[in-house]
Amino acid sequence: MYEEKRLQALQRYGILDTAPEAEYDDIVQLAARLCDAPIALISLVDRDRQWFKANVGLPGVTETERCISFCTFAIEREHVLVIEDATKDARFASCPLVTGAPFIRFYAGAPIQTEDGYHLGTLCVIDREARPLTDEQRRGLLALKRQVELLLRLRFQVKQAEERNRQLLRSSNDAVFVLDELGRVVELNPVAERLLGLGSAQVLGSFIDALAPEDERESLRRALQQLRARGTVRMENQGLRAARGERVALDIAASLQEVGHARRLLLVGHDLTEKRRLEQQSIQNDRLASVGALAAGIAHEINNPIAYVLSNLSFLEGWRDDLERQLVASPGFQSHVTDLLVEAREVISESLDGCKRIRDIVRDMRYFSHAPDESLAPVDINASLDFVLRMAQSELKGTAHLEKDYDVALPVVFANESRLSQVFLNLIINAIQAMPSGSPQRNTLRVRTAREGEHVRIDISDTGHGIPPEVLPKIFDPFFTTKPAGSGTGLGLSISHSLVQKMGGELRVRSEQGSGTTFSLVLPTGERALEVPTALAS
């Protein structure tokens, strides 16, 4: 049992069959001079062999069979094993290492011990002449073997640190970067690769500050300098540049790992994108709630007066038409009156259009307050999209060609079909209007559906001019519009956002100027859908 545990301890150090290292070579050189011996070894005793980590006096020899080794006996003792004359010791007299090369006569071996008491091998000195080991040489040999033990412990700690780093890399939900002392990336985890949109081969060996936006590199360099000096540092809202050029914001906790001669900078970055999205969502919800409160107060006040004005304008329009017919038929009708009547027609028509616009705005605003009780029911998303696309065909045919990519096995979602169709139509019309008309062969409207776990995702994409980055955060704000004055109320996307939320879903957008925009609806399906309120009025 002890032997198996001893071998396990030896394997844990990961030192067998490693390349020569100067620290170990220096120790055997000192041992040979101290003990005035031609041969000195750091010998590690494996299951069937003894392997030499460092070697003076046996050039080209890296190991021997364990069954003929002196060190096998040395590791069974707590103190230095001394053989003054191997030819006179029954244990070794017939050993091939005694009767043949290297013709061992004198041997002294100090066992190399782990902190938990297992003997891994020895620091030993060998001579071809029989002789004793002086007390001073014994003390020196023990001191040097303690240096070997220290080196092995440092190695073990470095192995443990590297293993902890690997576990962190594998299991962390945050982005993890391991840097060398100069700040070059030596390891990163899949989360970091995903956030940057880069593979490890594209990042390894790069200086971490080169991955930051140019105006944030100097602050990152200063933070790394503080890290080297203080051992820990925090970097709030530190930006890194992703593959497509967008800024990825991270809160980074960094620590200096110093074990032996190895120094590593460990950076663990928490992605702020989701946090900011939730903050923006909260702000958006507050805005919509404010509009809802406003709408509830003004809808009643405006609806009745505007109805009177519209009714009276319609009456006035009819009265003007009757007056014109009577005047034209009257004898002595003067032509200049016709000009006045035409002007009156234009004034009345503009007034009607303006009042209808006010009525439409108030009607749209009611969706933010107390919408009618409209229950959710199973909806076939693909069929609903096809229905809306047929409605938009007249707008689409002169502007873009259609590409559909439907998941034919898409499950139903629980939604209000009329309201969902309203959202689809609004997004599709917006997509069409974002592309220049007259060149359908050069523009594309893409509609895609897919299942994502317990959700269904609908992507509506255009190849239009895209949305400027400074505008993107505002597009769901009530009354915000990029359209020319008079051609939009600025409520379409806000209403769509509100309706999707009330159906338990989410409306997202991504855009790149010059390449187009994609709106994505994510709606719950199956058991998940039953958790959302059963009515839009909720």
Q: What is the pLDDT of residues 300-325, one digit of tens each?
A: 677 778 887 888 888 888 888 888 88
Whether 32 shows a pLDDT value over 90: the answer reads yes
C-alpha distances (whole Å) from 121 to each of 8, 72, 78, 81, 92 are 13, 8, 12, 12, 18
- Cα–Cα dist 22/59, whole Å: 16
Whether 295 shows a pLDDT value over 70: the answer reads no
Mean pLDDT of 16-25: 93
Mean pLDDT of 330-344: 76
Q: What is the pLDDT of residue 321?
A: 85
Q: How many residues does the chain have?
A: 538
- Sign, CA torsion 97/99/104/110: positive
Higher pLDDT, 377 or 67: 67
Helix (H, G, I), strand (E, B), or coil: what is residue 79? coil
405-436 tens-digit pLDDT? 999 999 999 888 878 888 888 899 889 988 98
- 398 and 508 Cβ atoms separated by less than 8 Å: no
Mean pLDDT of 21-41: 95
243-283 tens-digit pLDDT? 878 888 999 999 998 765 678 899 999 888 766 666 666 66
Q: How many helices (H) and strands (E) does the chain have?
A: 14, 18
CB-based contacts of 187, cutoff 8 Å, min separation 6: 165, 169, 176, 177, 178, 204
Distance of CA 329 to the CA centre of its chain: 79
pTM of the shown model = 0.44
Q: What is the pLDDT of residue 372?
A: 45
Exposure string over 455-477, b if 16+ CB within 10 A, otherwise e: bbbbbbbbbbbbbeeeeeeebbb
Tokens representing residue 508 in the block: 């997202």
- Cα–Cα dist 361/488, whole Å: 10
Higher pLDDT, 366 or 100: 100
- 400 and 464 Cβ atoms separated by less than 8 Å: no
Taking residue 51's Cβ as centre, other Cβ atoms within 10 Å add up to 19
Tokens representing residue 237 in the block: 């809202």
- Sign, CA torsion 434/436/437/441: negative
